[in-house]
């Protein structure tokens, strides 16, 4: 038998997954990461913890499945996007990685736009410079930690640090590379103009590859550490959202990926480098060779429900909470929830945006509040959905839903009615890790291309259609939701000035 491994270095943990040629998941194991918030708006992790958790995950999945390492034909990598990993000449980590949800770099984002002109920057990269992206993090280190910056010789993203530890090679896939906003989106490679203008040496940046391309092989040292067979090929893979899209089959125009995890994502494959003129959508390369994608991201999706439950109803299970919400009618009797608990990206690139319950009355009970959280997150995802339609992808054939939030029937129904489109679920539940394994299989020749791999391994398992009565209610509620952020924006800024968030 031939098997393919996907390794996912997420924010919460490292996962190792094994699939066979039919796409059956043979085994999966994961180990957690610690998250550090040393100052308000900061979010960091130690890359050495990623490697330690990866080692344990690989060893554990090999042990639990009994699969011989020599039977693993190839390995694909995926992981959290945008995080800045700085290495010295010897490959030593210079400081904790600054993560995708870190919000400290607004001044550097403003500086990037000032140097290029915002419109010019969007035309090159397909994006505005946001605090979550990698470019502004590099400038922050240069300005605030010059002693660290002076030692930098290599810049990597989280999964690519694992690649380095596995293969001793510096490499990066084009999907994740474009997420640094140091890429020329159209050319699918580093932008010499951007690197030069930002004074980032070109030789710090690794070679980039298409998702299924091999970037190296497991080294002797990594083989001894992990239990993997020496010389096992390692594919480029993709950033977690591109690999997630492969894992659910969102690999051709018209099939939209919807992920409700800690963050929320609307993902739409495009056949060319389309750009939303104001940069309100992310426009990146896809892990599928020769494809690109639009992506709208909200920072607190299922994370909003997690916060709500942990803060206000810690003694209840999620099932108990959602059962209460099920008894409340659509619209939560006028109660609205803004899900900006970590700031926001799409459509409001605002690190100072804050969450809020608006419209509370004596009639509202816990079930109303719970349902309003589900509805507010759904409205936030609709913001991205509408932007994608208006940016040129009016034909939407299917929405493929994944992530922990979509496991619940009530939330799926709210999403289908809010978006006024059918949602389908698929047989693959391991998302990004599964997609990374498929990319490795394509690189090894198990499938002729990514679309074929998806068609042969991914099957639809369920359908959720819009409820016409809910659609009408949510259209009206959404109009109210859209008007709230502009009204509250100045208040959010004043809160930041007063309390220094």
Catalytic residues: 240
- Residue 467 per-residue DSSP state: P
Segment (H or E) for 298: strand 292-298
Alpha helices in 145-282 (DSSP H): 146-149, 158-167, 174-178, 192-197, 220-226, 240-248
Q: In sequence order, what are the beta bridge partners of 87?
A: 93, 154
How far is Cα 419 from Cα 399, in angstroms, rounded to an integer?
A: 10
Q: In sequence order, what are the beta bridge partners of 246?
A: none
Judge whether 444 and 4 are in contact, CB under 8 Å: yes
Between helix 302-312 and helix 318-326 the angle, nearest 10°, is 100
Judge whether 416 and 463 are in contact, CB under 8 Å: no
How far is Cα 243 from Cα 343, in angstroms, rounded to an integer?
A: 25
Would you call the peptide bond into 347 cis, given omega within 30 degrees of 0 as the criterion?
yes
At 325 the three-state DSSP class reads helix
End-to-end CA gap in the chain = 54
Would you call the peptide bond into 192 cis, given omega within 30 degrees of 0 as the criterion?
no
Judge whether 57 and 14 are in contact, CB under 8 Å: yes
Judge whether 427 and 455 are in contact, CB under 8 Å: no
The count of other CB atoms within 10 Å of the CB of residue 24 is: 11
- Residue 287 per-residue DSSP state: S
Residue (of 173, 134, 100) closest to 436 by Cα position: 173
Residue (of 457, 482, 299) closest to 382 by Cα position: 482
How far is Cα 281 from Cα 297, in angstroms, rounded to an integer?
A: 8
Reading across the β-sheet that carries 3-9, which strands appear in turn? 25-32, 13-20, 3-9, 72-79, 233-239, 214-217
Give whole-number Cα distances, 436 to 73, 80, 144, 212, in Å: 13, 13, 36, 9
């Amino acid at each position: 038998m031939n098997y393919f491994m996907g390794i996912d270095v997420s924010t919460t943990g490292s996962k190792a997954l094994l699939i066979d040629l039919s796409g059956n998941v043979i085994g999966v194991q994961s180990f957690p990461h610690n998250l550090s918030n040393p100052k308000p708006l900061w979010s960091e992790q130690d890359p050495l913890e990623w490697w330690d958790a990866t080692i344990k995950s690989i060893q554990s999945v090999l042990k639990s499945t009994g699969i011989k390492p020599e039977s693993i034909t190839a390995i694909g990598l995926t992981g959290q996007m945008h995080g800045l990993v700085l290495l010295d000449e010897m490959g030593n980590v210079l400081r904790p990685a600054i993560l995708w949800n870190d919000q400290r770099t607004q001044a550097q984002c403003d500086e990037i736009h000032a140097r290029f002109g915002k419109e010019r920057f969007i035309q090159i990269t397909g994006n505005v410079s946001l605090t979550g992206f990698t470019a502004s993090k590099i400038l922050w280190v240069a300005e605030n930690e010059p002693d660290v910056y002076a030692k930098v010789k290599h810049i990597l993203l989280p999964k690519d640090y694992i690649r380095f530890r596995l293969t001793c090679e510096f490499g990066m896939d084009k999907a994740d590379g474009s997420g640094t906003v140091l890429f020329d989106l159209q050319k699918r490679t580093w932008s010499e103009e951007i690197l030069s203008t930002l004074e980032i040496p070109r030789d710090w940046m690794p070679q980039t590859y298409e998702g299924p391309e091999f970037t190296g092989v497991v080294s002797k040292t990594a083989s001894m550490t992990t239990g993997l067979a020496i010389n096992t090929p390692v594919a480029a893979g993709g950033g977690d959202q591109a690999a997630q899209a492969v894992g659910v089959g969102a690999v051709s125009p018209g099939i939209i990926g919807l992920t409700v995890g800690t963050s929320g994502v609307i993902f739409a494959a495009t056949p060319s480098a389309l750009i939303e003129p104001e940069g309100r959508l992310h426009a990146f390369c896809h892990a599928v060779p020769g494809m690109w994608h639009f992506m709208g991201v909200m920072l607190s999706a299922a994370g909003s429900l997690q916060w709500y439950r942990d803060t206000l109803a810690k003694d209840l299970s999620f099932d108990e909470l959602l059962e209460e919400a099920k008894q409340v009618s659509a619209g939560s009797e006028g109660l609205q929830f803004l899900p900006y608990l970590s700031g926001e990206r799409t459509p409001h690139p605002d690190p100072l945006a804050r969450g809020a319950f608006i419209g509370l009355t004596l009639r509202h009970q816990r079930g109303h509040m719970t349902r309003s959280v589900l509805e507010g997150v759904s409205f936030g995802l609709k913001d991205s959905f509408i932007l994608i339609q208006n940016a040129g992808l009016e034909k939407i054939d299917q929405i493929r839903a994944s992530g922990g939030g979509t496991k619940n029937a009530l939330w799926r129904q709210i999403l289908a009615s809010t978006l006024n489109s059918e949602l389908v679920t698929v047989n693959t539940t391991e998302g990004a890790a599964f997609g990374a394994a498929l990319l490795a299989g394509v690189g090894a020749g198990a499938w002729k291309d990514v679309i074929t791999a998806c068609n042969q391994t991914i099957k639809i398992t369920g359908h959720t259609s819009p409820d016409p009565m809910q659609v009408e209610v949510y259209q009206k509620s959404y109009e109210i939701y859209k008007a709230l952020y502009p009204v509250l924006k100045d208040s959010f800024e004043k809160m930041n000035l007063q309390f220094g968030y």
